[in-house]
C-alpha cells in the first residue's frame, strides 16, 4: 500500500517519475516496484569497467587457443563469460520458419563479432538500431571463420538518437564514461520490461533521471546512532554510489548501506510484530501439572532425550502463560517431535481443552493418528481422526465428537480449521509442517471462539540466517540431539553400472529380515506419464530383479484407501520392497526399513534427499542410503560431457549435492550447504515460498550484516516500542508507508 502523495519523494508512486508513466508502472508493479524508493533499490546486477571488457581481437585469440584441460574439479566455478563492447554494424534474419535465426554483427576497433539467436526472430528484428553501442557477454565459439556468441546477454550502453519521449538524462555518454575509466551499471531486466523500453539501458536512464531530480530531497531514515555505530553512509549518498559509483570502494559502501537498511527494516517489522504478540494476554493459562503427561513418560519404552526434556519445558512455560503460545519446534527427522507434541496435548486435555493436530497430507494424518494411539497405550484420552476420505457416517460421528468435546485430540489436515468443523473448546493447535515454511495465521484461529496456543513443528533444520528471517517473530525450540540408539546412516553414491551389486546388497538385507525403499523421482511434466514410469519400474523390479520377493508401489495419485492398504502391507512386513514416488518424503515411519535406494538421485534437491534419507535409520539397526545416478554424475561433469537434459552447471551442482549427502547426516550442515548451493534466489528468479525476497541483500553472503541489523532493530523497539521518539520519526513513517497492511500501530 502506498499512500497517495507523500511529501517524501521516495514514497511517491513510481508512475509519476519522468520516463515511467501509466504504461510502464503496471509492469514494474509485477516486480514489486511501486514507489520511487523501490525503483532505486533496483540495483545493478553488475558493473562494467574497462578491465572487464575484452577486445574482439583478444576474444578471437581465446577461441583459437583451445583451453587446456585443467582437470577441473567439482569445485570449479562456472566459466566466466567474456564481455565485448562494440557498435552495431549490421543485423538480419537468415533462413525461414522454424530454422530462422537472427544474426547481428558487432564491431570494435579490432574486429567484428557475430551474435546469433535461434528463435524470437520477430522480437530481435526490432530490438536494435544501427550504430548503437552494446555490451555483449557470452562464451565465444568459432563458426566458419567468424567468432560467435550464441544467445549472449546484451546490455545497451548508449543509443544513437534517443527515441522521443525519453528523459534528457539519457544523453549521458556511457560509452565515453567507460573509456575514461568509469563504471557503467548494468541492470536486471526481462522481456516484458524490455518491451516497454525498460531494458538495462532504460533502467539506467530513468534511475539516473530520478536521482538527478530528487537526490537533494531524499531524507535519511536510519537513526543517527545506528548510522554512526555501524559506520553507514547517508542514504542519498548510498543510492548514488550504488547506481553510479565513481569507484570500487564507494560502490562497496553504498551497497553495504542499502543492504543494511533493507535487512534492518525487515527485522524492525519482525520486532514490532513480536512486541505486539507479547502484549497479548488473552490466551489460555494452562495448569501444567499433569498426571496424564506423567503417566505417558512413565510408560514410554524409552527415556526422553535431554533435548526433548528441554523443549518440553519451553513449551509448557508458554502454555502456563496467558500469552498465546506461538512457538516453532525444530528438529531433524527422527529426533522425536511427535512425543513432545503429545505431552503438550495431554496437558491441554487435563485442563479440559481440545487439541488439533494438523498434518500436511491425509496419509500423514493417518500415520500420526496411529502413532499417537500407539504411544498413548491405554491412557484415558480420546483421539479421533478426521480426513476427507472417510465415509459420511463415520465423519458425522467424528464431527459430533469434536463439537461435543468428546474428542480430546483430533488429527487431520488443515481442513480441520475450516468453518465446518466446530470445536467445543479448542486450546492447542499443533501443526506438523514438516519442511514447509508456511506459518499459520492466528487470525483464523480466533474465529474458533478461543485463542489457542500454537506449536508449529518443522523437520527442516533451518540455517540460522534463514530462521532469523523466516521465523523471527516466533519463539523457537530446537531438538538438537537424536535418540542415543541411532547409528548414522551410511550413504554411498553409485553409478548405474554398480546396479547389480546394489541389488545384491538389498537382497542380503532383506534376507536378514529388513525392508527396503526404492525411491523414484517424478520428473515428467504429466502425472499420467510419471505414473506409468513408476509403475513399469515397479514391475521391472518385481519381475526381473526380485522375483522371489514381494514388491509394492505407492504414489501420490492413489486414493487414501489404496495408500493405506500398501502402507499397512509394508508395515506388517507383507511387502519386502516399497517402490515410492516422493510421497514418502514427508514422514512415513517403518522402523524395520533400513535400506533406501534413491534412483536418478541427481534429480533431487539436497534438503529433499535429506528428508528422504530420514525415512530409514529410525530404529536401532544400521541403515543405508544408496544414491544411484545414471552416470556417475561427478565424473561426467569433470570430463565436461553433458547429460542430454542437464546443463553442465546443473550437473556440477548435482555432483556437489550428492557429495554433501555422502559426507554428512547432520541436517543443519545439509541445510547450510543447500542454501549455499542454491542461493536465496535473485530478484527475478523463482520465488521459494515463504522465504522473503530481498532486493539488495543476500541472505547467504550478508548474514553477518543481518545479525547486526537484527540486534539494532530489536534494541530500538525495546527502547521505543511505538517509534515515537524524534530520531525514529522518519523510520516510523517509512515503515508505515511501505507496510501499511501490517499490524503496526505507530504513533
Applying CB under 6 A, which residues contact ligand ADP?
302, 304-305, 308, 331, 333-339, 459, 483, 589, 618
User: 461 contacts which partner out of Mg ion, ligand ADP, none, CB within 5 to 8 A by kind?
Assistant: none
Pick the closer one to ligand ADP by CB: 123 or 302: 302
Q: How many CB atoms sit inside 10 A of residue 18's CB?
A: 16
Q: What angle do CA 557, 560, 566 make, to 5 degrees?
A: 85
Task: Please say which residue, 337 or 738, places its beta carbon nearer to ligand ADP.
Answer: 337
CB of 615 to Mg ion, least distance (A): 11
Please identify, using beta-carbon distances, which residue of 452 and 587 lies nearer to Mg ion. Answer: 587
Q: How far is the CB of 345 from Mg ion (least distance, A)?
A: 14
Positive/negative CA dihedral, 100, 101, 105, 110: negative
Closer CB to ligand ADP, 83 or 611, in the complex: 611
Can you tell me the distance from the alpha carbon of 173 to that of 317, in angstroms, rounded to the nearest whole number? Answer: 65
Instruction: Specify the residue, 368 or 448, whose C-beta has the smaller distance to ligand ADP.
Output: 368
Q: Which of 584, 673, 660 is nearest to 627 (CA)?
A: 660
Question: Is the CB of 341 or the CB of 598 nearer to Mg ion?
Answer: 341
Pairing of strands 577-580, 551-554: parallel
Cα angle: 215, vertex 221, 227; to 5 degrees: 100
If contact means CB under 5 to 8 A according to the sort of partner, which of Mg ion, ligand ADP, none does residue 214 touch? none
Residues 532-569: b if buried by 16+ CB within 10 A, e if exposed: ebbeebbeebbeebbeebebbbbbbebebeebbebbee
- For residue 216, list its beta bridge partners: none
Partner touching 107 among Mg ion, ligand ADP, none, CB below 5 to 8 Å by kind: none
336 binds, among Mg ion, ligand ADP, none (CB under 5 to 8 A by kind): ligand ADP
Beta bridge partners of 600: none
Closest approach of ligand ADP to the CB of residue 17, in Å: 52
331 binds, among Mg ion, ligand ADP, none (CB under 5 to 8 A by kind): ligand ADP
Strands 46-48 and 184-186: antiparallel
Shortest Å, Cβ 458 to ligand ADP: 10
**Nearer to Mg ion by C-beta: 587 or 667?**
587
Per CB under 5 A, the segment of 306-314, 400-408, 587-595, 680-688 that binds Mg ion is 587-595
Closest distance of CB 353 from ligand ADP, Å: 22
List CB contacts of 568: < 8 A, sequence separation 6 or more. none
The answer to whether 465 and 691 have CB atoms below 8 angstroms apart is no
Residue from 562, 407, 404 nearest 386 by CA: 407
335 binding partner (options Mg ion, ligand ADP, none; Cβ < 5 to 8 Å by kind): ligand ADP
The DSSP secondary-structure symbol of 98 reads G
- What are φ and ψ of residue 165, in 5° steps? 95, -20
629 binds, among ligand ADP, Mg ion, none (CB under 5 to 8 A by kind): none
Helix, strand, or coil here: 35? strand
Residue 334 Cβ, how far from ligand ADP at the closest point, in Å? 5
Report which residue's Cβ sits closest to ligand ADP: 336
Q: How many CB atoms lie within 10 A of CB 45?
A: 16
Using CA atoms, how far apart are residues 559 and 569, in angstroms rounded to an integer?
16
- Burial of residue 171 (CB within 10 Å: 0-12, 13-18, 19+) is exposed
- Least distance (Å) from ligand ADP to the CB of residue 482? 9
DSSP annotation string for 5-30: T-SSGGGSBGGGSTTTHHHHHHHHHH
Find the part of the chain contacting Mg ion (CB under 5 A) among 134-142, 162-170, 586-594, 734-742.
586-594
Shortest reach from residue 375's CB to Mg ion, in Å: 12
Q: Which is nearer to ligand ADP, 84 or 596 (CB)?
A: 596
Which is nearer to ligand ADP, 430 or 551 (by Cβ)? 430
Cβ 407 to Mg ion shortest distance, Å: 21
Residue 431 main-chain phi, psi, to 5 deg: -115, 115
**Per-residue binder mask for Mg ion (CB under 5 A), 538-577, x = binder:** ----------------------------------------
Stretch in the footprint of Mg ion (CB under 5 A) among 30-38, 517-525, 581-589, 653-661: 581-589
Smallest gap from residue 431 Cβ to Mg ion (A): 12
Nearer to Mg ion, 159 or 618 (CB): 618
Half-sphere exposure of 468 (CA within 13 A, CB side): 22
Query: Binding pattern to Mg ion, positions 47-66, x when CB under 5 A?
Result: --------------------
We find the least distance from the C-beta atom of residue 331 to ligand ADP, in angstroms, to be: 5
Q: How far apart (Å, rounded) are the C-alpha atoms in residues 374 and 627?
A: 33
Query: Cell numbers 525487515 label which residue?
Result: 266
Of 480-488, 579-587, 652-660, 666-674, which part binds Mg ion (CB under 5 A)? 579-587
Nearer to Mg ion, 140 or 587 (CB): 587
540, interface contact from Mg ion, ligand ADP, none, CB < 5-8 Å by kind: none
Report the distance separating Cα 378 and Cα 697, nearest Å: 54
- Which partner from the list Mg ion, ligand ADP, none does 618 bind, CB cut-off 5 to 8 Å by kind? ligand ADP
Is the separation of the CB atoms in 103 and 120 below 8 Å? Answer: no
CB of 254 to Mg ion, least distance (A): 46
Nearer to ligand ADP, 48 or 307 (CB): 307
Binding partner of residue 324 among ligand ADP, Mg ion, none, CB under 5 to 8 Å per kind?
none
CB of 571 to ligand ADP, least distance (A): 12
Q: By Cβ distance, which residue is nearest to Mg ion?
A: 587
Interface segment toward Mg ion; rule CB under 5 A; list 94-102, 107-115, 540-548, 584-592: 584-592
Residue 333 beta carbon to ligand ADP: minimum distance, rounded to whole angstroms: 4
Least spacing, CB of residue 333 vs Mg ion, in Å:
7
In Å, how far from its chain's centre is CA 646? Answer: 21
Mapped onto helix, strand or coil, the DSSP state of residue 566 is helix
Question: Closest CB to ligand ADP among 565 and 591?
Answer: 591
Nearer to ligand ADP, 331 or 463 (CB): 331
CB closer to ligand ADP, 19 vs 336: 336
CA angle, corner 331, sides to 325 and 332, nearest 5?
160
Rounded Cα–Cα distance for residues 269 and 253 (Å): 24
Torsion of CA 371, 375, 380, 385, to 10 degrees: -10
Distance CA 383, CA 366 (A): 12
Nearer to Mg ion, 11 or 368 (CB): 368
Q: What distance in Å separates the CA atoms of residue 449 and residue 64, rounded to the nearest whole number?
A: 76
**Which of ligand ADP, Mg ion, none interacts with 304 (beta carbon under 5 to 8 A by kind)?**
ligand ADP
* Contacted entry of ligand ADP, Mg ion, none for residue 19, CB cut-off 5 to 8 Å set by kind: none
Using CB distances below 5 to 8 A depending on partner kind, what does residue 333 bind out of Mg ion, ligand ADP, none?
ligand ADP
Q: What is the DSSP letter of 582?
A: G
Dist. CA 527–CA 583, nearest whole Å: 13
- The residues binding Mg ion (CB under 5 A) are 587
Amino acid at each position: 500500500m502506498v499512500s497517495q502523495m507523500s511529501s517524501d519523494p521516495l514514497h511517491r508512486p513510481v508512475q509519476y517519475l519522468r520516463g515511467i508513466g501509466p504504461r510502464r508502472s503496471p509492469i514494474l508493479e509485477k516486480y514489486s516496484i511501486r514507489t520511487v524508493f523501490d525503483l532505486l533499490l533496483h540495483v545493478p546486477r553488475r558493473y562494467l569497467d574497462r578491465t572487464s571488457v575484452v577486445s574482439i581481437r583478444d576474444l578471437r585469440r581465446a577461441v583459437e587457443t583451445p583451453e587446456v584441460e585443467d582437470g577441473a574439479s567439482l569445485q570449479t566455478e562456472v566459466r566466466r563469460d567474456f564481455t565485448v563492447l562494440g557498435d552495431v554494424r549490421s543485423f538480419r534474419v537468415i533462413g525461414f520458419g522454424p530454422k530462422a535465426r537472427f544474426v547481428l554483427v558487432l564491431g570494435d576497433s579490432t574486429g567484428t563479432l557475430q551474435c546469433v539467436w535461434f528463435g524470437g526472430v520477430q522480437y530481435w528484428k526490432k530490438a536494435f538500431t544501427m550504430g548503437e553501442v552494446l555490451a555483449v557477454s557470452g562464451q565465444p565459439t568459432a563458426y566458419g571463420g567468424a567468432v560467435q556468441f550464441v544467445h549472449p546477454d546484451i546490455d545497451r550502453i548508449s543509443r544513437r538518437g534517443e527515441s522521443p519521449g525519453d528523459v534528457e538524462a539519457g544523453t549521458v555518454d556511457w560509452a565515453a564514461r567507460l573509456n575514461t575509466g568509469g563504471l557503467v551499471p548494468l541492470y536486471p531486466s526481462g522481456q516484458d520490461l524490455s518491451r516497454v523500453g525498460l531494458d538495462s539501458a532504460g533502467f539506467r536512464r530513468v534511475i539516473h533521471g530520478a536521482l538527478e531530480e530528487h537526490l537533494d530531497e531524499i531524507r535519511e531514515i536510519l537513526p543517527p546512532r545506528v548510522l554512526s555505530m555501524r559506520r553507514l553512509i547517508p542514504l542519498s549518498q548510498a543510492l548514488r554510489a550504488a547506481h553510479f559509483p565513481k569507484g570500487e570502494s564507494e560502490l562497496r559502501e553504498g551497497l553495504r548501506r542499502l543492504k543494511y537498511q533493507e535487512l534492518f527494516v525487515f527485522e524492525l517489522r519482525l520486532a514490532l510484530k513480536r512486541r505486539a504478540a507479547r502484549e497479548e494476554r488473552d490466551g489460555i493459562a494452562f495448569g501444567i501439572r499433569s498426571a496424564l503427561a506423567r503417566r505417558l513418560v512413565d510408560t514410554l519404552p524409552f527415556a526422553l532425550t535431554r533435548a526433548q526434556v528441554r523443549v518440553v519445558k519451553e513449551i509448557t512455560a508458554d502454555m502456563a502463560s496467558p500469552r498465546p503460545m506461538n512457538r516453532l519446534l525444530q528438529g531433524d527427522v527422527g529426533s522425536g517431535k511427535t512425543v513432545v507434541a503429545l505431552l503438550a496435548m495431554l496437558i491441554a486435555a487435563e485442563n479440559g481443552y481440545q487439541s488439533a493436530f494438523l498434518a500436511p497430507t491425509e496419509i500423514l494424518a493417518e500415520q500420526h493418528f496411529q502413532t499417537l494411539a500407539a504411544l498413548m497405550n491405554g491412557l484415558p484420552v480420546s483421539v479421533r481422526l478426521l480426513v476427507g476420505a472417510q465415509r459420511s457416517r463415520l465423519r458425522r460421528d467424528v464431527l459430533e465428537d469434536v463439537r461435543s468435546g468428546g474428542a480430546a485430540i483430533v488429527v487431520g489436515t488443515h481442513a480441520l480449521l475450516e468453518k465446518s468443523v466446530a470445536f467445543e473448546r479448542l486450546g492447542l493447535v499443533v501443526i506438523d509442517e514438516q519442511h514447509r515454511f508456511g506459518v499459520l495465521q492466528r487470525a483464523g484461529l480466533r474465529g474458533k471462539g478461543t485463542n489457542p496456543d500454537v506449536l508449529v513443528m518443522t523437520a527442516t533444520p533451518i540455517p540460522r540466517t534463514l530462521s532469523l528471517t523466516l521465523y523471527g517473530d516466533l519463539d523457537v525450540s530446537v531438538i538438537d540431539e537424536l535418540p542415543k540408539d541411532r547409528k548414522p546412516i551410511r550413504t554411498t553414491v553409485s553409478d548405474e553400472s554398480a546396479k547389480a551389486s546394489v541389488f545384491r546388497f538389498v537382497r542380503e538385507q532383506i534376507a536378514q529380515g529388513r525392508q527396503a525403499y526404492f525411491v523414484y523421482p517424478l520428473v515428467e511434466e504429466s502425472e499420467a506419464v510419471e505414473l506409468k514410469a513408476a509403475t513399469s519400474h515397479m514391475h521391472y523390479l518385481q519381475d526381473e530383479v526380485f522375483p522371489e520377493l514381494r514388491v509394492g508401489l505407492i504414489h501420490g495419485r492413489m486414493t487414501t484407501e489404496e495408500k493405506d492398504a500398501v502402507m499397512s502391507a509394508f508395515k506388517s512386513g507383507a511387502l519386502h520392497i516399497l517402490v515410492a514416488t516422493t510421497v514418502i518424503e514427508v514422514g512415513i515411519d517403518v522402523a524395520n526399513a533400513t535400506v533406501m535406494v534413491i534412483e536418478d538421485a541427481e534429480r533431487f534437491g539436497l534438503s529433499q534427499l535429506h528428508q528422504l534419507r530420514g525415512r530409514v535409520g529410525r530404529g536401532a539397526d544400521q541403515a543405508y542410503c544408496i544414491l544411484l545416478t545414471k552416470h556417475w554424475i561427478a565424473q561426467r561433469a569433470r570430463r565436461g560431457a553433458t547429460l542430454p537434459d542437464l546443463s553442465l552447471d546443473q550437473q556440477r551442482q548435482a555432483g556437489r549435492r550428492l557429495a554433501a549427502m555422502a559426507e554428512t547426516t547432520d541436517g543443519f550442515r545439509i541445510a547450510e550447504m543447500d542454501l549455499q548451493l542454491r542461493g536465496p534466489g535473485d530478484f527475478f528468479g523463482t520465488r521459494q515460498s515463504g522465504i522473503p525476497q530481498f532486493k539488495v541483500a543476500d541472505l547467504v553472503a550478508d548474514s553477518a550484516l543481518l545479525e547486526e541489523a537484527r540486534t539494532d532493530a530489536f534494541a530500538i523497539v525495546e527502547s521505543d516500542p511505538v517509534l515515537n521518539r524524534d530520531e525514529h520519526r522518519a523510520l516510523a513513517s517509512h515503515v508505515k508507508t511501505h507496510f501499511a497492511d501490517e499490524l503496526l500501530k505507530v504513533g
